Chains A and B, each alone.
Chain A
Amino acid sequence: MALKIVKGSIDRMFDKNLQDLVRGIRNHKEDEAKYISTCIDEIKQELKQDNIAVKANAVCKLTYLQMLGYDVSWAAFNIVEVMSSSKFTYKRIGYLAASQCFHESTDVIMLTTNQIRKDLSSPNQYDTGVALTGLSCFVTPDLARDLANDIMTLMSHTKPYIRKKAVLIMYKVFLKYPESLRPAFPRLKEKLEDPDPGVQSAAVNVICELARRNPKNYLSLAPLFFKLMTSSTNNWVLIKIIKLFGALTPLEPRLGKKLIEPLTNLIHSTSAMSLLYECVNTVIAVLISLSSGMPNHSASIQLCVQKLRILIEDSDQNLKYLGLLAMSKILKTHPKSVQSHKDLILQCLDDKDESIRLRALDLLYGMVSKKNLMEIVKKLMLHVDKAEGTTYRDELLTKIIDICSQSNYQYITNFEWYISILVELTRLEGTRHGHLIASQMLDVAIRVKAIRAFAVAQMATLLDNAHLLTGNTQRNGICEVLYAAAWICGEFSEHLENPMQTLEAMLRPKVATLPGHIQAVYVQNSAKLFATVLKSQEGDTDSTTTQEASQLMIDRLPLFVQSANLEVQERASCILQLVKYIQKLQQKDVEVAEEVCALFAGELNPVAPKAQKKVPVPEGLDLDAWINEPPSESESEDEQPKAIFTKEEPKHSRPRHTEVDEKELARRREARKQEQANNPFYIKASPSSQKVYQDTSGVEHIPVVQIDLSVPLKVPGLPMSDQYVKLEEERRQKVRAEKKKKEKKKRKEKRSGRGRKHDSGPESEEDIAPAHMVDIVTEEMPENALPSDDDERDPSDPHKALDIDLDKPLADNEKLPVRSHRAVEAQKSPVEDGERENAASQEPKKKSSKDKKEKKKDKDRDRKKSKEEKKKKKHKHEEKEEDLLGGQMEEPVVQSEETSEVAALPTSSSAEEVATVAAAEAAPAPGAPSVTAPDSEPDEPKDTEMEPKSSKHKKKKQKKEKEDKEKKKKKHHHHHRHSDAGGEESVQNGTVEEEEPLPPMSNYCLLAENSYIKMMKEDADEVCDIQGNLQDGSQVVVSVIFENKCESFLKSMEFNVLDSLNSKLQRPEGSGPHDGLVVPFQLPPGVSNEARFVFTVQSIVMPQKLKGTLTFIVKNEDSSTHEKLDFKLHFTCTSYLITTPCYSDAFAKLLESGDLKSSSIRLEGVNMPFHHLLARICFHHHFSVVERIDSCASMYSRSIQGHHVCLLVKTSAQTVSIDAKCDEPTLLGNVLDEIKQTFSQC
């Protein structure tokens, strides 16, 4: 053995380690790729070896290569091997590699579940830590679901190092498995007040992340956070909390009011810039949320702006940047306070740091007003000229356009100025944003009717000078502008001064070098121009111009007919033929202008960008219904093989896919509607949508004010926007002068002695009248569009799933899935949890070694013992039966049948027999069959899934045999082990954790029965709040199985309990204190079902008995009778205990604390193996084993109200002594009595 290790390490020293690899790569700079490929070959060899050290070394090197960009996913399995090494050194290497290269679609991840679980429960905190760290990087929905409960347990680990990691990773678990959020949240909340600052910080971190996405669900935590904020001194935590408040205040303005004061104090007191900055940020958020209600916070705004100014003026570029960033937030609600710092911001535009310039630009966006727009844009235009580097210049360009076009051109008073700005921007070299300028030109020309004449003139000039734009190939982006220019000139050609000249410009041969889509627009619009020319010459006797025009068309168009672009070619050839025909008609002196114009008649209106989305689905239209018969099965099967070669679609994208389909459908439907509307043969049901458009727009009726004559309409060449700035200034002065005059007059009339503030003071926004009234055509929406504001949220956002109400009490079905080998126990989680916990914690406590071999010895010993026993009872077993685990493993599959058959047993026997069997069950004898609630967990443990399903039938038979045996056993009244239950050795998977063989147990006992019905109950205590404090109410859940024993149908079952002072049945709201609860199902003959009832309990120190009645209707074919069944519910004190894991050091501390009262009992004549005894206490009384040494064990449990119960169990010969300590002596006494009873019954 030792030799092997030494040999392995000698082998190892000739392998390259990570340092050698790095050195090698550095020495092979020329042929690095080749060197690495030989290294990878070596690594592959190393991975084939058995020595884990060699493997780990190889994996370590792979992690390095992964960083260099090499795909190492082929080694995923080896990584898992290294992860499962028992040595921390290798485990750490494995987990690091996994965290670097595993992801959701790595298939070996599913093999890691058990390994990770084992590491999580490892006694070495660093094993656990490494597993948590690794898991945080590659957690998948499956892992999250399977491990959520284990991680949740770790959140209460004794070591803060583990606690903080467990708390943090919960966020990842929530993201992958949103169902875990509600059950885990109470504990997470608890961690906000953890004594360790690191854990506290982690909890704050997680809740902040959660709350950022769905703030409204976390409003109830505000008081807690408020407390933390005023008490914490950790800046990191403070920053997080303050950020969180920033997210919460918009939802709860009252919170904001409370926050202002402490935040202001912090702003004044803190020296940490990061904290100061976040405070300012949150104050801003508060102010925004209060902006409507509270006028007297101007002091706070001033404080913020003042502090921000200090930041912006700081020499530290970081602070300057952040100052500007925060400033832009104030801007939205308090633009005035920011505008006073315009100088500072404009100054930042000159900063050498691009990030800062961009931030300043952002601010400018919000700072513009009608008054200063022209001035600011002028400054920006200067920067555009100066800017070096295209990205920044492009950014400037888009910002100018954004600033001008924001909120529907709100701040533009003079559109001529804007058009000239746009035209000026076309002179920018090498911009990528030609299309942006083009769309602005189109938008303005279409929507601002008054500007069309001017725009057309400008565009005509642009077209004339097109060579300037297209001359340089580098300027390609800008030629998009020509697209807009050509379209505007064509569409609004009636405004053209000289259409002939423009027509000529549009048909120049050079146009053929433009991109295809622009050429197409040229061709189409030349036809429009042609129509205009014809129309304008109509009345004239002299027809030379028109003939010239058609000749021009006929001469130039063939160039486009030859175009390689389909669109251009098609349009050109169409129009060419048309013009030829018109020419023919002209020669015959036929008046064609009207007809030609009719080709292009009608006006285009802009459509709102969201219009398409808002088309409502017509009533009665089911988009999911098949229009045609669905394709036959065989067809889909034919398609199946294809999927082998194409990558299968990931699961999560599916719903989205269908949504796209729906959208597509809606689009098609809309298109069809349009088509129908245009189709004269289609009988329209309602006024056509087009008609509605024309009716509603109604802009024609608004009188358009004449354009101010002081503005020259005809600008020779390209206009300079600067002119407008001057003109505007003059105009405003004029207006102001007039106003002053009027005011003076007024004042003279009034003769009041008012100050002359008005004259020098800046004019207010309203004073600035636009140069000319502009009616901006509003965007059109489809008829009966749905008003909605839910357009923004992305359906694929993972955080959407976390929008969960956390304040609702936890429902039963929300419990986290608990690992277990036996599905039998899966649904009774609290109890089984305990057993599992116990089994898990037992292993690490064996100090000597937790080697499997050791354990096997243990098991063998047990087995021998049991064999001896068996021999005594003259039960002979086959060899196969040795495997006890096998027997247990199979049970989940059989469980449901068992339930019914066990229950069916008494039915067939006489009344007395029923009673005895029931009694035997009530006191869970070792041989008692395990009975479960029928509602099985959706996710069965993987272990059972691995079993071949064909074995099911066999098991049924075996089970029947078992039943028989059990009957015998009861007669003999012997205590013996249930090891004979499972006959067959099941396939033992390597990943299955070994568990000590335990007899199956059940907590179900007979409640009451009569000839019609039988009730069995199990009380699983479930506490609403895991903390189990009284404020949140302590609850006990009672599961009752109802079984119909007669031939009739049972219905209208009502479950009622006479409430005592202490315990109350929880009834739905609105029902009286004596009303029964309707059982939510009916029972056909022979069927059983389970219902759960929740009781509220106040004091838990004493056992309780509650009287109750079940009323129901027995329905035969011919008659129905009313029946009732009385029962007594016995709440033992144990049912108030919840299994809580405890670590030995915490346990020791607890015992030392001296707060606990002690008591003890002795049990005589207990004849069972010690671990059975422990298991029984764990199972029936909800304890967990803290530590076990030989025949002595310490156990722990906690009541739902937080009482600690500690046991020290010792056994010698057949005597068991239990020393117990608890902080509530009455409770302890009762629990001990109950334990005594349990053992006296067996």
Chain B
Amino acid sequence: MIKAILIFNNHGKPRLIRFYQYFAEDMQQQIIRETFHLVSKRDDNVCNFLEGGSLIGGSDYKLIYRHYATLYFVFCVDSSESELGILDLIQVFVETLDKCFENVCELDLIFHMDKVHYILQEVVMGGMVLETNMNEIVAQVEVQNRLEKSEGGLSAAPARAVSAVKNMNLPEIPRNINIGDINIKVPSLSPF
């Protein structure tokens, strides 16, 4: 079982949190802080498994994480999950994000937390792995997005327009800054 999925950036700012077991909000924040503390002090060339988060889990649980550019993807899992399997799953998830957002970067996650959630929901459900096939995940996400668009139809048009105008009026469109180093680099998929 996966107990929690956390995505936060290099400064510990949460970008997505998904607990499959109930924790109160302040506890959730503590867990994020602790996990960030544990993960951030590790070099990039050490192993991706970490034991000893005291707040979440216990002896049976492990933190399995991957670090992409500015983001940490951390899965807290118990011993029924295969460690390497989860590492691959994180990779699949990130590649899926990359496909859905077209060259995903941290800003996509910042501004579209809801969409990231919807993608994650197609990968993991209730703490159990739902789908590992990226094409299938992308297909399902796209169908749902189309459904959403068709529902929006006419009535959503004004809102979309306003949103576009709002973006135009801003002095800077955040996506254009730092695009180089903020992009999540997706290394090639390891054999799975």
Contacts and interface: CB of A to CB of B under 8 A. Distances in A.
Interface stretch (B69-77, B94-102, B146-154, B179-187): B146-154
B85 A236 contact: yes
Given A92-B118, A235-B192, A274-B84, A68 B22 contact: no
Contacts of A377: none
Nearest to A137: B126
B29 A22 contact: no
A205 B114 contact: no
Contact of B83 (A169, A240, A318, A358): A318
Contacts of A172: 126
Contacts of B133: 198
Chain B CB within 10 Å — which of A22, A103, A198, A355 has the most? A355
A164 B85 CA distance: 19
A818 interface: no
A133 interface: yes
A202 interface: yes
Contact of A70 (B18, B25, B140): B25
Given A18-B111, A239-B82, A355 B49 contact: yes
Contact of A202 (B28, B110, B121, B130): B130
A24 to B, nearest CB: 11
Contacts of A209: 1, 80, 128
Contacts of A703: none
B90 to A, nearest CB: 12
Contacts of A20: 166
Given A10-B158, A274-B88, A198 B148 contact: no
Given A17-B159, A126-B143, A126-B147, A198 B131 contact: yes
A273 B130 CA distance: 21
Interface secondary structure of A, over-half rule: helix
A1085 interface: no
A1025 to B, nearest CB: 26
A9 interface: yes
B84 A18 contact: no
A271 B191 contact: yes
Nearest to B78: A212
Given A93-B114, A165-B130, A5 B163 contact: no
B17 A67 contact: yes
A53 B155 CA distance: 10
B144 interface: yes
Nearest to B167: A19
A96 B25 contact: no
Interface residues of A, number: 77
Interface stretch (A58-66, A493-501, A852-860): A58-66
Contact of A168 (B83, B126, B152): B126
A1186 to B, nearest CB: 25
A271 B84 CA distance: 13
A66 B129 contact: no
B53 interface: no
A27 to B, nearest CB: 10
Contact of B114 (A8, A60, A71): A60
B51 A355 contact: yes
A89 B85 contact: no
Contacts of A23: 111, 170, 174
Given A89-B151, A165-B125, A18 B80 contact: no
A206 interface: yes
A67 B144 contact: no
Contacts of A205: 128-129
Contacts of B130: 164-165, 168, 198, 202
A212 B80 contact: yes
A317 B80 CA distance: 21
Interface in A150-166: 161, 164-165
A87 B147 CA distance: 10
Contacts of A124: 147
A348 to B, nearest CB: 11
Contact of B147 (A88, A273, A321): A88
A144 to B, nearest CB: 12
B84 A88 contact: no
A66 B46 CA distance: 33
A132 interface: yes
Contacts of B25: 66, 69-71
Contact of B191 (A6, A202, A273, A277): A273
Contacts of A12: 158-159
B113 interface: yes
A358 B51 contact: yes
A60 B26 CA distance: 20
B87 interface: yes
A320 interface: yes
Given A93-B114, A126-B144, A318 B159 contact: no
Interface string A186-198: 0000000000001
A19 B140 contact: no
B50 to A, nearest CB: 6
Interface string B108-134: 001111100110010001111111110
A5 B148 CA distance: 17
A356 interface: yes
Given A17-B163, A63-B114, A322 B80 contact: no
Contacts of B16: 67
Interface in A311-346: 317-318, 320-322
Nearest to B64: A318
Contact of A132 (B125, B148, B159): B125
A103 B45 contact: no
Given A53-B155, A274-B88, A206 B128 contact: yes
Contacts of A273: 84, 190-191
B155 A6 contact: yes
Contacts of B42: 353-354
A485 interface: no
Given A239-B82, A278-B82, A96 B117 contact: yes
A875 to B, nearest CB: 48
Interface in A96-128: 96, 100, 103-104, 124, 126
Interface in A18-73: 18-20, 22-23, 26, 53, 60, 63-64, 66-71
Nearest to A9: B155
Contacts of A1140: none
A355 B41 CA distance: 13
Interface in A236-276: 236, 239-240, 243, 271-274
Contacts of B18: 100
Nearest to A124: B147
A709 to B, nearest CB: 47
B125 A136 contact: yes
B14 interface: yes
Contacts of A317: 45-48
Given A165-B130, A206-B128, A243 B80 contact: yes
A716 B177 CA distance: 70
A13 B158 CA distance: 7
Contacts of B155: 5-6, 8-9, 53
Contacts of A147: none
A165 B130 CA distance: 7
Given A318-B48, A353-B46, A136 B159 contact: no
Interface of B: 1, 14, 16-18, 20, 22, 24-26, 28-29, 42-43, 45-51, 80, 82-85, 87-88, 110-114, 117-118, 121, 125-133, 136, 140, 143-144, 147-148, 151-152, 155-159, 161-163, 166, 170, 174, 190-192
8 contacts: A18-B114, A19-B163, A23-B174, A69-B28, A205-B129, A209-B80, A239-B85, A243-B80
Given A17-B159, A20-B166, 18 more contacts: A9-B157, A12-B159, A22-B110, A26-B174, A67-B17, A69-B28, A71-B25, A124-B147, A133-B125, A198-B136, A202-B128, A202-B130, A240-B82, A274-B85, A277-B82, A321-B47, A355-B47, A356-B46
The 8 tightest CB contacts between A and B, nearest first, are A136-B126, A274-B84, A317-B47, A103-B22, A353-B46, A13-B162, A69-B29, A321-B47
